[in-house]
Amino acid sequence: MIKVVSTVDETRAQVKEWKKQGLTVGLVPTMGYLHEGHQSLIKKAVEENDKVVVSIFVNPIQFAPNEDLETYPRDLDADTKLCDSTGADLIFHPTPDEMYLDGFSTHIEMNNLTKELCGKSRPTHFGGVCTVVGKLFNIVQPNKAYFGQKDAQQLAIIKRMVRDLNFDLEIVGCPIVREPDGLAKSSRNSYLNEDERKAALILSKSIELGKELVANGERNAQTIIKAMTDKINTEPLARIDYVNVVDALNIEPVDTLNGEVLVAIAVYIGKTRLIDNFYYASEV
């Protein structure tokens, strides 16, 4: 039976016991309201480690004041069942006060990789992500940690943070999991009403179009951006935040698809902001 703890001390004590037995530990950091996308990360972690910790924490410092911190969906009972049935061993579910002690004053900021895509429209977001993920790494001391490629910029940033700050673990990126009709799984899909849910398909349709252009040999970033933008604009409920092509390592815009690139979009459907992407790697 899975154990749910809410303090740093309990988590550390459990991990220490496992490490004493020579067991490896995988960490899946989440904000809860878990779906099959998270489940795929947990499955991978279970396959690759002796013990798996899932953290469930809606991290206040990665939300700007105008964002959805208060309404972000939460369901600890359902999350516990999913983690248990998928084979995780421990849920770390701290309160904001446990994570951010009175007088908390230390933050991890990333200067590069945050200027484009989500970092451009959410300027304080990745500082909050890096800070909480750095804390989780220190608390759990995992051998490996698992992140979804749907948040491709986050994944690139965390890999860079691990390299820059010498965290002693491996970061594992896992593929996007989609609904049968193509929509990328996201906790925020639960905000969509029936019409918006249909309209949201425009994201995966434009991703498909982008992939098709690339498969047919298109290498000009602006041509791909324009075609995907035009496609999204056919949906009246959609409002584009960005459509961009960046290099996958440094998250800087590119003119031509060369090396490993990331084609990424963020689109508002009504008030809900959704993201999607695909990677392309040219043969060397």
Q: Catalytic amino acids?
A: 38
Q: Computed from CA positions of residues 146, 109, 13, 169, in that sequence, does the dihedral angle turn out positive or negative? A: positive
From residue 236, alpha-carbon distances to 31, 183, 280 in Å are 30, 17, 29
Least separation in angstroms between residue 94's CB and ligand PAF is: 12
In terms of CB distance, is 154 or 244 closer to ligand PAF? Answer: 154
Q: Is 115 exposed, middle or buried (0-12, 13-18, 19+ CB in 10 A)?
A: middle
Rule CB under 6 A: which residues touch ligand PAF?
29-31, 59, 62, 129, 132-133, 151, 154
17 CB-near residues (< 8 Å, 6+ apart): none
Cβ 170 vs Cβ 192: under 8 Å: no
Q: If you search the block for the tokens 């964002």, which residue do you land on?
A: 67
Q: Which is nearer to ligand PAF, 60 or 182 (CB)?
A: 60
Q: Residue 37 CB, nearest distance to ligand PAF (Å)? A: 10
Compute the least distance from the CB of residue 276 to ligand PAF, in Å: 15
Q: How far is CA 181 from CA 45, 95, 178, 198, 231, in A?
A: 27, 36, 8, 10, 17
Query: In the complex with ligand PAF, which residue's Cβ is closer, 44 or 205?
Result: 44
The strand order across the sheet containing 3-5 reads 3-5, 90-92, 51-56, 25-30, 144-148, 170-174
* 132 Cβ contact list (under 8 Å, min separation 6): 29, 57, 59, 61, 62, 99
User: From the CB of 29, what's the least distance to ligand PAF, in Å?
Assistant: 4
Least Å distance between CB 25 and ligand PAF? 17
The answer to whether 261 and 247 are in contact (CB under 8 A) is yes
Report the residue number, 235 or 276, with the smaller CB distance to ligand PAF: 276
Q: Looking at beta carbons only, is 130 or 199 nearer to ligand PAF?
A: 130
